[in-house]
Structure 1
Amino acid sequence: MRPAATCPRCGRRGSPVWYEDSAEPTAWGCPAGHRWSSTGRPGWTPYPSPAAVPGRLSASEPPARAHPGRVHRDGRSWRIGTADDVAWIAGHTTHGPSVTAAIPPVFEAYATFHPPDGVGVDVHERAVVAELAARTPEQQWWLGYLDTGAHDIVFPGAATVTLYWGWSYLLVEAGPEQALTWRTGHLRGDGALPDLFFPADRSWLVSALWDDTWTDIGASADMLAGLLSDPLVNARLVDPDEDACPPGLTRDCPPVQGTAGTAYFT
């Protein structure tokens, strides 16, 4: 049998899996996504147990191989998302200029944000992530990078998911730190934030569409109240049926090639 283990952070029980061909020093260990340092034999990573006895499983239970839907960066392994992870978004947005073109109409409240005049993009993005992280229970975040063919998606060549008008996104399970540090610029210019990201519990969703010069968010009213209180975030509440374009900004309005043809925003 696989030895059981208890997550040292949340107390959940689990059974470890040994990756014989892994050199990773850490691994996710419980359903909540908590991880910890491995112990024992180098080259073997316990998942999810820091208390697992080092060594190979029995001959009747061969070691599990690393999942093909993973990528490596910063000395760790990260899970690549699939269509199942965005099924709650795909096909549930609307056409037109409202915020629900980017955010499914399932949230209590909606807003937009963009860097205010005189504030650097990096300062603005750090403020956004700090406000979101402060009001979100600790968990993994899904980071989505729109594959335009000309911008950094962090893990080129990894499998993508399809959203909106047939656009491809690289989706990876990581966290707030990676959201601020992995990317080297996006289609809106300077900055590192993903084009789409949300926590594992789906309590909020941030999405900036290809032709928009701002970012949309759906969340609870309390979450948005926190964003509105920070002048560096520069958030503005919008109704789900109103034009989401903030005053003074415009859409880039390129034709968008999708699986159903070409769409234009006005």
Structure 2
Amino acid sequence: MRAMKDGREWRIGTAAEVDWISGHTTAGLSITTAVPPVFDAYATTWRSDDIPAAAYERALVDDLIAHTPEQPWWLGYLDTGAHDIVFPRAPTVSLYWDWRYVLIEAGPEQALTWRSGHMRGDGSLPDLFFPADRSWLVSALWDDAWTCVGGPERLIDALEHDPLANGRRVTPDQDALPPGLTRE
């Protein structure tokens, strides 16, 4: 299936695109609640109060671009019923606790610009995104103020050393809650 936006057609994803995630995460407080335990390294990222949302999101996406060969990205927008999912008439896929996501094949620029209105406040990033080769996954769960990332060591190193991306390395069994943040 395809949908129109910005004067072109975009491919809408199906359960086949997220079958590697669906059923492969574990309930709990660790990063594997959001990201399957298939990556070399993991991190959480979050926007510091003193960093504008656009600067944080651009830094995160730039780090991802720098560690990804050119290819399409899958962008997933969680359908909460109250927030922008970009393609409101598109079919959804089910992930995590039967949460419904609209999944679109696009790229980094669309990840930074398509959404207006975000459940975590300012910003436009999708709730879930990954490249076609599945070399990394970025996932922000419904009620978390931070973002979970799984990927290659060099990507996680870049996030850790980027003051705007504000990455913090975690192990798969470690609590994903970043220091200074609280759970709702």
Tell me the TM-score range normalised by the shorter chain. Answer: over 0.9
CA distance in 2, matches of 1:186, 1:133: 22
CA distance in 2, matches of 1:74, 1:246: 36
Query: What is the aligned partner in structure 2 of residue 93 from structure 1?
Result: 25
- Determine which structure has greater relative contact order: mean sequence separation of CA pairs < 8 Å that are 6+ residues apart, divided by chain length: 2
TM-score, normalised to structure 1, is 0.68
SS in 1 for 2:89: coil
Query: What is the aligned partner in structure 1 of residue 150 from structure 2?
Result: 218
CA distance in 2, matches of 1:216, 1:117: 18
Q: Does 1:113 find its partner at 2:45?
A: yes
Query: What is the aligned partner in structure 1 of residue 183 from structure 2?
Result: 251
Query: What is the aligned partner in structure 1 of residue 109 from structure 2?
Result: 177
CA distance in 2, matches of 1:140, 1:114: 24
The count of aligned residue pairs is 184
Tell which structure's C-alpha radius of gyration is larger. 1
Return the offset for 1:111.
0.3
CA distance in 2, matches of 1:251, 1:171: 27
CA distance in 2, matches of 1:154, 1:110: 28
SS in 2 for 1:96: coil
Which runs of 5 or more structure 2 residues have no equivalent in the other structure? none
TM-score, normalised to structure 2, is 0.99
Return the offset for 1:185.
2.0
Query: What is the aligned partner in structure 2 of residue 241 from structure 1?
Result: 173
Asked if the contact 1:212/1:250 (under 8 Å) is kept, the reply is no
Q: Does 1:134 find its partner at 2:87?
A: no
CA distance in 2, matches of 1:89, 1:81: 14
Q: 1:122-156: per-residue Cα shift (whole Å, max 9, x none)?
A: 11000100110011000000000000000000000
Identity of aligned residues (%): 66
- Indicate which of 47, 68, 72 corresponds to 2:4: 72
Q: Does 1:146 find its partner at 2:78?
A: yes
Quote the RMSD (CA, aligned, Å). 0.6
Q: Does 1:209 find its partner at 2:141?
A: yes
Moved over 4 A (4+): none
CA distance in 1, matches of 2:139, 2:181: 17
Return the offset for 1:114.
0.5
CA distance in 2, matches of 1:248, 1:185: 25
